Amino acid sequence: MQSGAASAPVQVLAVDPEREAQVFKAPRRMHEGTFDSTGITLGLKLAEQLGAGLGDRVVLTFQDLRGEIHSSLYQVSGIYDGISNLVEGIQVYVPLAELAPELLGTADSLRQPMVAHQIHFRVRNLDSLDQTVSELTAAVANPGSSVLRTWRAISPDLRYADEVLAQSLLLFMAVILFAMAFGILNTMLMAILERTRELGMLMAIGMTRRKVFRLVVLETLLLSFAGLPLGLLLGHLTIAVTSRTGISLAGVEKGMAELGLQSTIYPVPVPEYFLPVALLVAVLGLLSSLYPARKALKLNPIESMRVL
């Protein structure tokens, strides 16, 4: 692609603007102009590199199916702001109705129907990706006529970043649960210290050590289960709000853009995680109660009643 100031290699996508905007976000993230069938749409980084603005003219030079070189003049009708600098710097959109006749030729001149070299599928739920791939693979009449690749194969860097983020999430959850366990442990130890006289009195009037142990354990579990529903509710409401407003990471915007990630993230609530988290809280609450309960068993009834 050439402009009046510079030139750059590009990847041209001949698309139907209306249908493209229904599937992908890039056409809807317009920095200037509109994404329509009146001209070419450039990425923001490519427009800065070429020194081209809205309404300027650029020249596309390409080779058609017959091996002939074509040069076509297009007017810049829009500039989009993509989530990746790599995409912005190389990917341009041209209306299919304008580019296809020049690249493929008409049916009368080339005797060949219009074809597409890429078909993009977007799944709404990432968990259904493997099932969608299996269905598409089975639907291909001639398996050797096409290559089916997922986003993980197309972008290994993004796949690696996704795996790192998943591991970081697990580590973050482990730290939170570990801190929660110590919080419960500290609370119950303080409760036993403050109620040493009462526990000694109960043991003096005949309460067995087994019942004292059971008392401390049940109190710890009740404390854990009392806070669990409230914590899940507040967490769900927080995610529901931030999923609309977003969480800004403007401080690392440039680094995330190089990986093709947005600087504003939109968390999504995952109800499937609620039950495992609840079970982990219950298990950690039970384990955190063992040491305070064992501490209560060592109390001497006579000495405990003397504590003021």
Strand partners, 7: 2
What is the reported pLDDT for 28?
Answer: 60
Long-range CB contacts (< 8 A, 24+ apart) of 236-244? 236/269, 239/267, 239/268, 239/269, 240/269, 242/266, 242/267, 243/267, 243/268, 243/269
C-alpha to C-alpha distance for 28 and 35, rounded to whole angstroms: 8
Q: Which pair of tokens denotes residue 101?
A: 């006749």
- Averaging pLDDT over each range in 18-32, 112-126, 192-206, which range is the top one? 192-206
What is the reported pLDDT for 110?
Answer: 46
C-alpha to C-alpha distance for 184 and 224, rounded to whole angstroms: 8
Kindly state the greatest CA–CA separation across the chain.
107
Model confidence over 23-75: pLDDT tens digits?
A: 776 666 788 888 877 788 888 888 888 888 888 899 888 887 777 787 888 88
Domain borders along the chain are 11-120, 121-154, 156-305
Model confidence over 202-247: pLDDT tens digits?
A: 888 888 888 888 888 898 888 888 888 888 888 888 888 888 888 8
Contact assessment for residue 3 and residue 56, using Cβ atoms and an 8 Å cutoff: yes
What is the reported pLDDT for 258?
Answer: 64
What is the reported pLDDT for 193?
Answer: 83
Which amino acid, one-letter code, is at 36?
A: D
Over residues 173-199, the mean pLDDT reads: 87
Report the candidate in 28, 52, 21, 208 with the shortest Cα–Cα distance to residue 120: 21
Over residues 276-295, the mean pLDDT reads: 87
Match 């299996």 to its residue by tokens.
134
**pLDDT, the chain, mean:** 81
